[in-house]
Amino acid sequence: MESSLGLLLVLISSVAIHIGQAQDQKEFISLDCGLPANELSPYKEAHTKLLFSSDENFIQSGKNGRVQANREREFLKPYRTLRYFPNGTRNCYSLTVEKGRNHLIRAFFTYANYDGFDNNPNFDLYLGPNLWETIDFQGQVKSVRAEMLHIPTSNSLQICLVKTGTTIPFISTLEIRPMGNDSYVTDSGSLNLFFRRYFTESKNYIRYANDIYDRAWLPYFQTEWTQISTTLQVNNSNSYIPPKDALSTAAIPTNSSAPLTIQWNSSYVNNQYYFYIHFAEIQELKKKDSREFNITWNGKVILSSFIPPKFRAHTVFAESPGTCDGGDCSLQLIRTNRSTLPPLLSALEVYTVIQFPQSETNEIDVIAVQNIKITYGISRISWQGDPCVPQWLMWDGLSCSTTDMSTPPRITHLNLSSSGLTGTITDGIKNLTSLETLDLSNNNLIGEVPDFLGNMKSLVFINISMNDLSGLIPQTLQRKGLKLFSQGNPGLCLSGSCLPPKPKSFPVAIIVSVLSVAISIIGILVLTLVLRKKNPSTVAAQRRPPSISSVNVTYANSPASSIQTNKRSFTYSEVISMTNNFQRVVGEGGFGIVYHGALNVYGQVAVKLLSQSSTQGYKEFKAEVDLLMRVHHTNLVSLIGYCNEGDHLALIYEFVPNGDLRQHLSGKGGRSIINWGTRLRIVVEAASGLEYLHTGCIPPMVHRDVKTTNILLDERFKARLADFGLSRSFPVGNESHVSTIIAGTSGYLDPEYYRTNRLTEKSDVYSFGIVLLEMITNQPVIDQSREKSHITEWVGFEVNSGDIRSIMDPNLQEDYDSDSAWRIFDLAMSCANASSKRRPSMSQVVVELKECLASEILRRNMMNRGRMEARSSAEVTVLVDTEMFPVAR
């Protein structure tokens, strides 16, 4: 939030938004907070042309609000809605960013009496575990802005609103802009924006797209100055890339002998300042003329005899922060004796240093507890933001160890007693390597007690009492120094206590009684067998599908009990029944034939049966069951159950009726040809499923067989990633890969993985790049009839002409935006780079695809309306207290 700026603060009654040629918004995050789900998202804001999306997928709490109806016309669209937080102390947005990269982070708050109470809210804004800003409307301001430049220490960014009094926190927009890493470098800490100005008599302010980083530049001018300007192009190619429009004008003192002075003051006398001064000589100087000046900061020369370069940007900046005596600051440009012309100034940025001393909780612990939260569907409102710090906002049920503020805290105690947990004890717990006590009592947990609990060396107390756990308690949990409470689990027993009792001698009378009962039972069984031979339905039930009639598989080392799952186990006879004796084949893969089936509870299902010729066996079967047991994502096929009876192995899935992506690209089997927009949405959803495997699972997973035939489409053409038999976990922490036997599909297989046997998540990224090329071209991945047989070689050769149409699927009939097509092509080739280090992450892929989809939605909306969106140049008002908040007239 910007403070009083002394002479810099002037009332600007109205300004016109200055719109330049549209530029790419790659990696931008622009959230319209509180935008209802039934409104278009994302949408293009008419004035800045920025794409704003709803914030619903980035926060789990809060309610939608809207400024008073009679005041909506005062504000541009993103600032008319808001999200407010009447419940809980801390409510947090969770955003994916690039670790170690500088980011511009900006939040807007527009009150406009949305609640009708006219109560001027006051609350705190946190970045992770650290206080960023106090948002204070006590001064009767309409809106407040908080903006900083910050380098995240992890790939997750938490922006939190914290209630500090009786008023309710709220937020209007949240914007994240990745910056260049070779600019705005500090000794320590982050940079909180104090002000940003360009010097002109114009009333236009500059923002995106004239500034590629979407920095907002306010115009400012003093009466004792004269403006100079140019219509020629000014080169802005330095590390800071100041907007060209800011460089095309400059201020000079009207009295050519006088210094050009900028002054400001702050009540925070200990502020440390970094400043960035942008210059360009924009006048054609005569031979006898020269412009040279000294730059002073609070009377001290920081740069002498400076000559601004001709029609080229040059930025002077403070390498170390400076302070101002008594809070009064002065920056002066003073003409030297050799100069014939006065000093000039194009633009100025001033920031204060903000320290974030509290380290975030250990990243592996955070990932682990987040996955525990997802697995059990824990919806506690306190489980937002950093789990451990600040301590007064620590998550309920957690305790953490903290040595000092610079050391990441570790989670040491986890209490989920009486939390309504269902399913098995999740293996995500084992990643909490500093855990000392674990309380899972009074829940509805089932299955066996896992061995890993006893192998957690720091764990000294476990309470699993009052659940429905079963089986033997592992020997590892009976080690010295570990206290285990397990009462109230009727099916759970210590080693040896579950053995059947020794046989005892029976009286003769009892033996006779037992024999008579046995004879009766044998008679009944014989009669049943006779009747079955006469029953046609029994004969049909004995039929087996040809694919498994002679399968000979042994599982001596893989008993059924090794599959730890809370999914339903089906008998083979139930499988025969649900498939109507394997009547309808709907597909075939490496595991075997897939049959259509039906279950009363689930409706239609797909039953995948292990075949005799399958290259996959029990290991892959178990891998798929184990993976799908613990993953829950809308873009992954759901496992309903399995059959593991003798030599009969089957997996029962939800039925996905619209086939696979490959069929709809080719139109085979009577499938429809899908348009460009639908293709984009499908690959966004498939990429989201992969991103979940890579970042949302503990441990993370590599699919290893990503291809168009494994992207299934439901009745609404929503994508479901399928076939996880080859999936493998990959390491986290210092290890970057896992060595494994090569597996996958020819053409989609990562060449680096094939060459080195080193599997990483980037192997999936490569395969997904091939999927994108298929989506664009509708060409085979490998075609020996082509001069360039592999699709990557073929598209690279074809687009050398510079015409994207040369590779686009002709079935699209050129109904696509060429810019969008080029972006997808560039993304696909980046994914399919021969070097895994040069491939993007799946998170980056998802962001890029969503941008393309948003552009396509906007294009189609325009077409449907029959007219282009109006390019308005409506005037706006900028309020003094925010300096750049756009308000419509």
**Residue that terminates a domain, selected from 299, 322, 354:** 354
pLDDT of residue 408: 94
Please report, for the domain that includes residue 288, its CATH number.
Answer: 2.60.120
- CA-to-CA dists, residue 849 to 26, 354, 687, 821, 844, angstroms: 10, 34, 9, 11, 9
The Cα 190–Cα 789 span in angstroms is 51
Share of the chain above pLDDT 70, in %: 80
Higher pLDDT, 561 or 519: 519
C-alpha to C-alpha distances, 674 to 34, 637, 660, 713, nearest whole angstrom: 33, 21, 12, 12
pLDDT of residue 801: 75
Q: What is the pLDDT of residues 774-807, one digit of tens each?
A: 999 999 999 988 888 999 999 998 888 788 999 9
Describe the crossing of helices 761-777 and 791-798 by its angle, rounded to 10 degrees.
50
pLDDT digits (tens, 9 = 90+) for 109-139: 999 999 998 888 999 999 999 999 999 987 6
Q: How confident is the model at residue 841 (pLDDT cuts 50, 70, 90)?
A: very high
Cα(69)–Cα(64) distance, integer angstroms: 14
pLDDT of residue 700: 80
Same domain, 309 and 374: no
Are 383 and 346 in a shared domain? Answer: no
Look at residue 13 and tell me if it is in a domain.
yes
> Are 220 and 278 contained in the same domain?
yes
Least confident of 11-20, 403-412, 574-583, 794-803: 11-20
The predicted-structure confidence for 8-34, as pLDDT tens digits, reads as follows 322 222 233 333 333 478 899 999 999
**Which tokens belong to 816?**
């696509």
870-885 pLDDT, tens per residue? 323 222 222 223 344 4
Q: What is the mean pLDDT of the chain?
A: 83
Token pair for 504: 């005892």
Average pLDDT, integer, range 707-718? 89
Pick the residue with more confidence: 318 or 233?
233
Q: Which residues contact 429 (CB under 8 A, 6 or more apart)?
A: 368, 372, 414, 435, 438, 452, 453, 456
Q: What is the mean pLDDT of residues 581-609?
A: 82
Do residues 120 and 202 both lie within one domain? no
Whole-number Cα distances in Å, 643 to 651, 654, 724: 6, 15, 17
Is residue 241 located within the same domain as residue 340?
Answer: yes
Together in a domain, 58 and 88: yes
269 with 327: CB under 8 angstroms?
yes
Whether the per-residue pLDDT at 414 is higher than 70: the answer is: yes
167 and 233 co-located in one domain: no
The pLDDT of residue 392 is 86
Rounded CA-CA distance 147/240 in Å is 17
310 in the same domain as 212: yes
Answer yes or no: is 678 within a domain.
yes
Report pLDDT for 878. 29
Residue type, 568: R
Average pLDDT of 659-672?
A: 83
Domain that holds residue 226: 198-354
pLDDT at 681: 93
| This prediction's pTM | 0.58
Q: State the pLDDT at residue 234.
A: 97
Mean pLDDT score, 359-385: 94
pLDDT band at 2 (very low <50, low <70, confident <90, very high): very low
Inter-CA distances, 186 with 4, 100, 273, 342, Å: 24, 14, 10, 31
Banded model confidence at residue 545, pLDDT cuts 50, 70, 90:
very low
Mean pLDDT of 227-237: 96
Mean of pLDDT values over 556-574: 57
Higher pLDDT among residues 239 and 701, named by residue: 239
Residue 569 banded pLDDT, cuts 50, 70, 90:
confident
480 marked among binding-site residues = no
> Could you read off the pLDDT of 156-198 as tens digits, one per residue?
999 999 998 889 999 999 999 999 878 999 999 999 999 999 9
pLDDT of residue 888: 45
Q: Look at residue 540 and tell me if it is in a domain.
A: no
Across 344-372, average pLDDT: 95
Q: Mark which of 334, 354, 374 sits at the end of a domain.
A: 354
Cα distances (Å, whole numbers) of residue 861 to 20, 23, 25, 849, 868: 23, 20, 19, 18, 9
Catalytic residue among 32, 211, 245, 705: 705
* Mean pLDDT value of segment 43-53: 92
For residue 641 the two structure tokens come to 């159950």
Is the predicted pLDDT of residue 767 greater than 90, yes or no? Answer: yes
| 717 and 780 within one domain | yes
DSSP 698: S
Is residue 807 within 8 A of residue 795, CB to CB? The reply is yes
CATH number where 780 lies:
1.10.510.10
- pLDDT of 864 > 90? The answer is no
Is residue 705 flagged as an active site residue?
Answer: yes
Is the confidence at residue 753, as pLDDT, over 80? yes
pLDDT in tens, 475-492: 889 888 888 989 889 899
User: Do 880 and 9 contact (CB within 8 A), yes or no?
Assistant: yes
Whether 134 maps to a domain, the answer reads yes
pLDDT of 516 over the 90 cut: no
How many CA atoms does the CB half-sphere of 228 hold within 13 Å?
A: 19
For residue 865, tell me if it sits in a domain: no
Largest CA distance in the chain: 132
- Checking if the pLDDT of 733 tops 50, the result is no
- For residue 823, is pLDDT > 50? yes
State the DSSP H helix or E strand holding residue 795, giving kind and residue range, or none if neither.
helix 791-798
pLDDT at res. 729: 61
Residue 597 lies in a domain: no
Tell me: pLDDT of 443 over 90.
yes
- What's the pLDDT tens digit per position in 824-840? 999 999 999 989 889 99
Rounded Cα distance, 24 and 289, in Å: 41
CA atoms within 13 A on the CB side of 21: 1
8 A C-beta contact, residue 241 and residue 180: yes
Domain assignment of residue 579, yes or no: no
Q: Total domain count for the chain?
A: 4
List beta partners, residue 301. Answer: 296
Quote the pLDDT of residue 627: 66
What pLDDT does 867 receive? 39
pLDDT for 240? 97
Token couple for 477:
């949990």
Among 75-79, 418-422, 540-544, 838-842, the range scoring the smallest mean pLDDT is: 540-544
pLDDT at 503 exceeding the cut of 90: no
* CA-wise closest residue to 579 among 598, 602, 594: 598
Write the DSSP string, 432-491. Answer: -TT--EEE--SSEEEEPPPTHHHH-TT--EEE--SSEEEEEPPGGGG-TT-EEE-TT-TE
Q: Is the pLDDT of residue 707 over 60?
A: yes
Which burial class, exposed, middle or buried, applies to 495 when counting CB atoms under 10 A from its CB (0-12, 13-18, 19+)? Answer: exposed
The CATH number for 380's domain is: 3.80.10.10
pLDDT at residue 520 is higher than 80: no
Kindly state whether residues 53 and 141 are assigned to the same domain. Answer: yes
Whether residue 410 lies inside any domain: the answer is yes
Are 53 and 136 found together in one domain? yes
Q: How many residues does the chain have?
A: 889
507 C-beta neighbours (distance < 10 Å), count: 8
Q: How far is CA 64 from CA 158, 169, 179, in A?
A: 20, 12, 31
Nearest 5 degrees, angle CA 33-CA 36-CA 40? 100
Domain boundary (471, 493, 515) is at: 493
Determine the Cα–Cα distance for residues 372 and 656; give it in Å rounded to an integer: 28
Q: Which of 42-46, 303-307, 574-578, 863-867 has the lowest mean pLDDT?
A: 863-867
End-to-end CA distance of the chain: 24
Q: Is the pLDDT of residue 563 over 50?
A: no
**CA–CA–CA angle 178, 181, 187 (5° rounding):** 120
Q: Does 603 have pLDDT greater than 80?
A: no
Query: Are 238 and 317 part of one and the same domain?
Result: yes
- DSSP β-ladder status, 444-447 and 468-472: parallel
329 by Cβ neighbours in 10 Å (0-12 / 13-18 / 19+) ranks as buried
